[in-house]
Amino acid sequence: MPLRFVLDDIAESECDTIVYAATAAALSDGAAPAPGVTSEEERRIFAEMGEYPAWVTYANDLYCTYVIHVPCPERKGDGEDEARLKKCWLDCLQLAADHDCRSAAFPLIGAGRYGYSDADAIRIAVEAVGEFLKRRSMDVELLFDDAGAFSEAEKLYPEFSEN
């Protein structure tokens, strides 16, 4: 199935790549680094990113091959929020495709501390993945570490549930 919702730890994913979304400020405020990366390494990656929309590293001891580190767009209320979040998704999907990944696992980018409701973040994710899959083939997992958000996703889009 090209898109499916999964309730699991993203670090356990066996996809070709996993996506880690954060901001330099969130990392400074104690957000956990990407799986397999120390906090210091993650801060360095985000500092070196500059104008790049995302950065790819090898996954070290994880089951996947790559980790895509992406600055998470925070909701600003300026009318461009959804476009920024959708672009973030599309940039990550394209980067995965550019690295010959046949599968990718994503967290719920934008939800929580970044200001998007779970419902908005889920809807934007489904729209972006659907748009991307019209051009490229890839299996995409949207992983949830929160049962409440997973349940909301299942109610909104039951066709993508793993059950």
* Identity of the amino acid at 23: T
Task: For residue 29, indicate whether it is catalytic.
Answer: yes
Residue in 9, 29, 145, 146 annotated catalytic: 29
First to last CA, the chain: 12
List active site positions: 29
